[in-house]
Structure 1
Amino acid sequence: KTSFVRSSGSSSHREDVFVDERSSEGETKPKPQFRDECFRKMDLMIEFTNLRNPKHCPTGVYVMPSADNFHTWYGVLFVHKGYYKNGVFKFKLEIPSDYPERPPAVKFIFNLINNSDGLFHPLVDPSTGSFSLSQQFKDWTPHKYYIFHVLHYIKKSFKKSVLDNLLEKHCPNKQAFTTYHNETHTFSVMAKQCADLSISRTVLYDNNIEANPIQFSDLADEKLDELKSYMKPPETEGGRPNYSSRRTYSTSSITNPLT
């Protein structure tokens, strides 16, 4: 079998290459590496786009790829209930080049003041911020699990139902695990401290990572009212909002479809 491959590059330097996928002995030759990388990147782009579909990206979670590297995604989680209520936690996804053969690596970006050890959570390494996926995805299977499964697990890991059933061997923060099971009140106090610190000006407005497209800044009340006026749908003659029957999305907007 002979396939025709056109290499990338400008039109003046583009070359047409014929690739014989079988040797003279009839053995199949490996496919060109660049072609495999191209398809993987395309699949990843489709997966990001599909996060706009209902039930893909969980509510309260926003993600955007880095402008410098599409294999690095930045995210933020808004927690509305539980021990970490009102917390705003930033994180990063490092997607391996051979994804989906291997899962993405998750790391929380939580540079707290006073030399704190970071986010106090059983699944978060206190020294690196790395988030453990081993309990939920101990047998990662390509094309069965996707990034949106990881995003849902990140959100659920802050809920009591998941915290109750964590196994110590999967928890890099042994102190947080032990405190949760033996001193629940102390754990709740420390979790609340993390939530409060995450929305403090020092932490929330810490935008020192230039590649992170999700940046927080202070907003005056007048500016907030102005933005709200843009979001209000126009009214019809009957006084009812004129909602479009078709929902549209901006490609530059942060992904967070309604579930």
Structure 2
Amino acid sequence: MNLRRPARRWRAIALVAMLVCAGAAWAQDAEDGEPVGEPLSGKALSDRDFGVLTRQFGLDRRVEMYQWRREFGIASQGDGYERVWNAAPIDSSGYSPGHANPSRMPLENRRWWSESATLDGKPLGSEVLRAIGEWRVFRPNFSRLPSNLAATFQPEGDGLGSSENPLDPQIGDLRVSWRELRLPPLEGKLELREGVWRLRPEAAAAALNAAPAREPVATAAAEPESGGWSPGWFAVAVVLALIVLYRLRKRRQARR
């Protein structure tokens, strides 16, 4: 009689049980709402006016115009004027002659958000991006810059500028720069609610620009799904079944 076969068989059964338990534990972590993968931004975001692309979670275009700004001095010295870069038009209707600003911005500031971000194959809520995303300046590839804008703008710093001489800008000149939104580590900050990744209440409270987070409904979270076993209970059942089989085999061997 070969005694090695039963031993090998039981070792194989034990290995299968260990794998089932490990898989069940992994599945239980995912079910409990703890992400296990890396977030994906989905479709690339594009500033079509300038042909700028990013594969991050947001794209921000910042436009500044060179303008006059009044400096209020003491009564004996009067008011003075300085030239500054500003992201919004400065009203110069009350300024002295020779200090007029353009009445409007030729280009507008714009922002795009990813609408198809996912994590572990499930949607990532837009409020997550807005609350904890970090804007970082980046220098785009301007190979797709349309010809009409290429005639007006030239590379300047990390963006583009319309000044003929960047060292001597004139009133009304523009400069454009871009930022992309990146996500910090998400461990401990998210939970899965109704199939969508949302900020945990404590993470939302810690984010300075987060909207007030709604508490999840306790009854809905505690109610089990009908018609199926959770991965944890399935693993326990497998282990119990193996124990029962092992004891039955021992009894049979003892009777023989």
Length-normalised TM-score, structure 1: 0.20
TM-score computed with the length of structure 2 as normaliser? 0.20
